[in-house]
Amino acid sequence: MKWWQAGLFLWMAGTIGAGFLYAPLAKKLEEHTRIIYFHIPAAWVSVVAFGVAGLYGARYLWRRRPLDDLRSAAAARLGLVFCLLATVTGMLFAKAMWGEYWNWDPRQVSIFFLILVYGAYLTLRAAVDDPERRARLAAVYALLAFVTVPFLMFVLPRLSDFTLHPDPIVNRGGKLEMHPRMFGTFLSATGAFTLLFFWMWWLDVRAESAARAAAERERAAREHPQAEEVGLERAARA
Amino acid sequence: MSGPGRRSPLWRGALAVWGKDVRAEWRSRYSVGSSIVFAAATLAVLTLAVGFQARRPELAAPLLWTVLLFSATASLGHGFAREVEGGTWDLLRQAAGPGEVLLGKWLAAATLLAAIEAVILALGAVLIGPPVADPAGFLAVLGLGSLALAAGLPLVGALLAQARRHGGLVAAMAFPLLVPGLLAAVMGTRKALAGSWPGDELRMLAAFTGLLVVAGWRLFEFIWDE
């Protein structure tokens, strides 16, 4: 284990501990306050991930390097995972606070549509066979999809007159109304989740690169079996 | 894409593409015909299900945009796919640049959508007849929402024209991408029908449509590029 991986483990463990032992409870939310330290960072990371997917989509269109496509796709996949986590934790909170898992609250609707947007991105990737074309079209879609993210995450929920959802961290009046210890724990959780995302993303990109390289070697071996045998003999001699 | 210095050729090319699409539609009446049948059937089924409740703004607004979205998807989302199926995609690529093609397709989509909307609104007025308390607000939301549909659907259609089994995917891909605009349009229409000015919704619709147009304009050359 590398030093920063051990550091992330301690950071995450410390944040979970702080959520239960250090941060005070919010009025009205009581014990349900703890979910703030997991639900909001998961939603935040999904926005970061979709931003990374768009950024690497743009880089692919600019430089046409397959690795950028791979990075964009991995970020979109993980963004979808964190988006689902935010949805599930939000549903648990909704059940505990409002008595139902799903209330069609504007924020629930927004995140539901965000899942559809990136689900459609993965569908597009599955529908195009040619790798170059798939990468190009997926990059365009990732950029178009990112146009919807600020509207779905930040604008639409604030446009609706009716919501049961608690005020966001920075409320409609632009004020931060959170106890300093809660805010510290929240920032720590957000940082830990963000770092966790980048680690998972890096692993996903490495795994996908290795899988692609293996598939490429297999294809080359099928097309040129002699070359493979020569390669094996050389490897045996070495 | 053509820069500002080539404005005239860009518009000439775009108008040529627009004229070709509108003439093709006029000859076959495929898109408008299928959309109108779809809209009439949906309106009839929904009004039969909810009766006079459909006149209430909170039902009339989503009803209008649901019918509009799916009618528009059935017609505007398949323009590029028809170029591929008809074998005219490559000819179009040789005859015009990406800017001309996109602008022409957008203009054609807006024209077809206006025709479809005229029929849907007439049908809605006859079958449901919801009172419109703020006609100016209603028309403003309808106009901006339609621009979002006319800008977004051809883009998704162009993306999917190069995919296999593209037919069934257009609605699945277009709906999530257009949803911020659609939600703002539904909320704005509801307000306008109820009699209040949908200022916030119009601002959001304008911002979303503007971003979609700018992003689509910048990105289309990558869809067009093979």
| pLDDT, position A168 | 57
ipTM: 0.85
Q: Which residues pair with A176 in a beta bridge?
A: A170
pLDDT > 70? residue B166: no
Best A68, A156, A158, A162 member to test B by mutation, with max B CBs in 10 Å, is A156
C-alpha–C-alpha distance, residues B2 and B104, integer Å: 13
Average pLDDT of chain A to the nearest whole number: 87
A143 CB near a chain B CB, below 8 Å?
Answer: yes
CB-based contact B101:B18 (threshold 8 Å): no
Tens-place pLDDT, residues A220-237: 888 877 766 666 666 666
| pLDDT, position B83 | 81
Tens-place pLDDT, residues B23-47: 888 887 777 788 888 888 888 888 8
Rounded to the nearest angstrom, the minimum Cα separation between A100 and chain B is: 23
pTM, 2 dp: 0.85
C-alpha–C-alpha distance, residues A71 and A206, integer Å: 9
Rounded to the nearest angstrom, the minimum Cα separation between B184 and chain A is: 8
Rounded to the nearest angstrom, the minimum Cα separation between B177 and chain A is: 6
Residues A200, A205, A207, CA angle at the centre, nearest 5°?
Answer: 95
Nearest to B215 among A109, A120, A144 (CB): A144
Tens-place pLDDT, residues A173-201: 556 677 888 889 999 999 999 999 999 99
Q: Which residues of A9-39 are buried (b: 16+ CB within 10 A; e: fewer)?
A: eebbeebbebbeeebeebeeeeeebbbbbbb
Chain B residue with CA closest to A141: the answer is: B159
Any idea what DSSP says for residue A154?
I
CB-based contact B71:B38 (threshold 8 Å): yes
Tens-of-pLDDT digits for all 238 residues of chain A? 788 889 999 999 999 999 899 888 877 778 888 888 999 999 999 999 999 999 999 999 999 999 999 999 999 999 999 999 999 999 998 898 888 898 888 888 888 999 999 999 999 998 888 899 999 999 999 999 999 988 888 888 777 766 667 665 555 555 667 788 888 999 999 999 999 999 999 999 999 999 988 988 888 888 877 766 666 666 666 6
| pLDDT, position A173 | 58
| pLDDT, position B188 | 94
| pLDDT, position B139 | 95
SS3 category, A85: helix
Tens-place pLDDT, residues B124-149: 888 888 888 899 999 999 999 999 99
Mean pLDDT of B178-196: 92
